[in-house]
Amino acid sequence: MIPNARVQDAFPAPHDHRGTARGVTSRAVGPIPVSPRPALETPKVWLQGVSVSYKTDNGTRLLALDQIDLKVRQGEFLCIVGPSGCGKSTLLHLIAALQKPTTGSIMIDDEYVTAPGTDRIMIFQEHGLFPWLTVGQNVEFGMKMKGLSKAERDEKIHYYLRLVHLSQFRGSRPHQLSGGMRQRVALARALATEPDVLLMDEPFAALDAQTRDLLHDELERIWDETGRTIIFVTHNVREAVRLGNRVVLFTFRPGRVKHEFTIDLPRPRHLEQVDVARTAGEILDSLRDEINKSLEAEYGHEKGL
């Protein structure tokens, strides 16, 4: 039995913006009695029977995602882990409507996702800042596209740069900043359009450990202050436990939901904490078989098997 993470098929308890999930203690196996909530609560993000397949060079079909059924609650911090090639990033692209599912449907607030929208913003591993614009102009870019007035844009630039502790760098160019600072600018730019859902695709993978730890703290604080729904893809299981209310584990290709773990550890958390490491280790035990399948597929391909 995993002491601080429960395999769970039902909806997780929502975030109460004080750092822990309501109705669940850091050690509890079952819920503490709470006031009942409505039986039918609309998920913020709802994937129903989502599959994705591709046509390969030899004319066969490759099934990347298979029958994904997943509900994400408003204000939840959901982390997705799995081996390389399991479709984690593809899932984010589908929610962002950067590509379409082969079968199934995706809903945001009970409305079908058919096109990209400012209610969903994606942050990639590469920050994607415009090098010819200043920090402030980069943050302003999305707001200009939305047609906000100059006064509104100035107010939000000030607010969101202060939120990521970069107010004094408003006039700087991206090349004058460190990697971690550039990623914070990318976060401020995403937040400034005030999306309901942040889709984060391994945004800290290329950073050094010290910078990554600082950005974990920043992201958790911003999530707590803004109440945004975050779907965060990572290869790092301990990072997922550090950040998430829930961790969803994908199988190797085709990607399916293998397990869902509700993380009951109190916040703030740190990567070096014993409970974080122990819980991550338990999840990694479930992931290890899928990693082995990934390695076998890669090895077999190289050998021409």
Residue 227: pLDDT over 70? yes
pLDDT at 140: 94
Residue spans of the domains in the chain: they are 130-194
pLDDT at 25: 32
**pLDDT tens, 157-213?**
999 999 889 999 999 999 999 988 998 899 899 889 889 999 999 988 888 888 888
pLDDT at 249: 95
**pLDDT tens, 236-293?**
999 999 999 999 999 998 999 999 999 999 998 999 999 999 999 999 999 988 888 7
pLDDT at 294: 75
- The residue that leads in pLDDT, 19 or 234, is 234
pLDDT at 301: 53
Average confidence (pLDDT) over 89-93 = 95
Residue 38: pLDDT over 80? no
- CA-CA distances (angstroms) from residue 27 to 9, 21, 75, 239, 263? 19, 12, 22, 20, 10
- The residue to which tokens 């039986």 are assigned: 39
pLDDT at 298: 67
Mean pLDDT of the residues in the chain: 84
